[in-house]
């Protein structure tokens, strides 16, 4: 059965596309058939895929949010194990469509006050779809109190936070330049270890959903 993972935050630059593509590669490495649906008109994820030239193995399709149900149906009929939906910033309609379609919703945010404040709009859209997200702390600094402060703030808001956090690591930028996931770019690095751990945790949640 096809499972749907939506990555949603209406704030820009929180790491939606980075997580969507790195998780897609990690799922592919775990022998799953993955389709990424790119709802962002900027088509960042689609451009990454165009550069790779392995669309048979890992397809990334640019898709307007209004077409999401039809495109998802096609992905299901084609036997996709996982559909990952990467959403656009500043688009409540895309966030809502992705939330409605999701079995599991990841909401990436950086452990910064602006990201925490900007979450309200994302949460509103997810609530309209009658779903609950899991916050994923991304681009976390190696040291300092920010992660703990952010985790506490999320807990006080009654939000679930993924047990895996993703560090602020240069490998994400370098892998993106090479149109790779970090598990391909630097298979034994810390970024790869974190992405694989997140992929495993997400798998459990998708199975339970
Ligand atoms: N964990 C990380 N460590 C280092 N850099 C990161 C990390 N996550 C994301 N970045 C960088 O931050 C920038 C924004 O990330 P990304 O494009 O994934 O965010 P986004 O939420 O998809 O943005 P948009 O809202 O514009 O679609 C990119 O340059 C990306 O390489
Ligand atoms: Mg993006």
Q: How far is the CA of 173 from the centre of ligand 1 (A)?
A: 8
| b/e 136-158 (16+ beta carbons within 10 angstroms → b) | bbbbbeeeeeebeebbebbeeee
Average pLDDT, the chain: 96
Q: What is the mean pLDDT of residues 144-148?
A: 90
Q: Per-residue pLDDT tens for 92-102?
A: 999 999 999 99
Q: Quote the pLDDT of residue 181.
A: 98
Q: Quote the pLDDT of residue 53.
A: 85
> 74, 82 in Cβ contact below 8 A?
no
Q: Per-residue pLDDT tens for 16-73?
A: 999 999 999 999 999 999 999 999 999 999 999 999 988 888 999 999 999 999 999 9
Q: Would you state the structure tokens that stand for residue 95, as one six-digit string? A: 């966030």
Ligand 1 first shell, C-beta below 6 A: 12-18, 40, 44, 89, 138-139, 166, 168-169, 172-173, 176
Cα dist. 165→35, 59, 108, 132, 203 in Å? 24, 26, 10, 19, 16
> 116, 109 in Cβ contact below 8 A?
yes
Q: Quote the pLDDT of residue 35.
A: 97
Question: Of all residues in the chain, what percent are helix, strand and coil, respectively (each to 5)?
Answer: 50, 15, 35
Q: In order of start, what are the domains of the chain with their CATH numbers?
A: 3-208 (3.40.50.300)
Residue 204 has a CB neighbour count (10 Å cut-off) of 10
Q: Would you state the structure tokens that stand for residue 110, as one six-digit string? A: 């950086």
Residue from 179, 187, 20, 46 nearest 104 by CA: 20
Q: Which residue has the tokens 């689609």?
A: 46
Q: What is the mean pLDDT of residues 115-128?
A: 94
Residue 144, pLDDT > 90, answer no
Q: Quote the pLDDT of residue 155.
A: 94
Q: How far is the CA of 77 from the centre of ligand 1 (A)?
A: 31
Has this prediction a pTM greater than 0.85?
Answer: yes
């Amino acid at each position: 059965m096809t499972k749907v993972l939506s990555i949603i935050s209406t704030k820009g630059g929180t790491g939606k596309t980075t997580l969507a593509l790195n998780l897609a590669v990690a799922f592919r490495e775990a022998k799953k058939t993955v389709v990424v649906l790119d709802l962002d008109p900027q088509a960042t994820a689609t451009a990454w895929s165009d550069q790779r030239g392995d669309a048979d193995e890992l397809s990334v399709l640019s898709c307007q949010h209004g077409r999401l149900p039809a495109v998802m149906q096609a992905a299901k009929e084609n036997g996709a194990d996982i559909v990952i939906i990467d959403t656009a910033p500043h688009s409540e309609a895309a966030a809502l469509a992705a939330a409605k379609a999701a079995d599991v919703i990841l909401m990436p945010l950086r452990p910064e006050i602006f990201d925490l404040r900007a979450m309200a709009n994302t949460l509103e859209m997810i609530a309209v779809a009658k779903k609950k997200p899991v916050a994923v702390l991304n681009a976390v600094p190696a040291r300092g109190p920010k992660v703990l402060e952010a985790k506490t703030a999320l807990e006080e808001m009654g939000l679930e936070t993924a047990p895996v956090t993703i560090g602020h690591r240069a490998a994400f930028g370098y892998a993106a330049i090479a149109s790779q996931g970090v598990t391909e770019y630097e298979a034994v690095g810390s970024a790869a270890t974190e992405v694989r751990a997140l992929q495993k945790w997400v798998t459990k949640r998708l199975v339970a959903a």
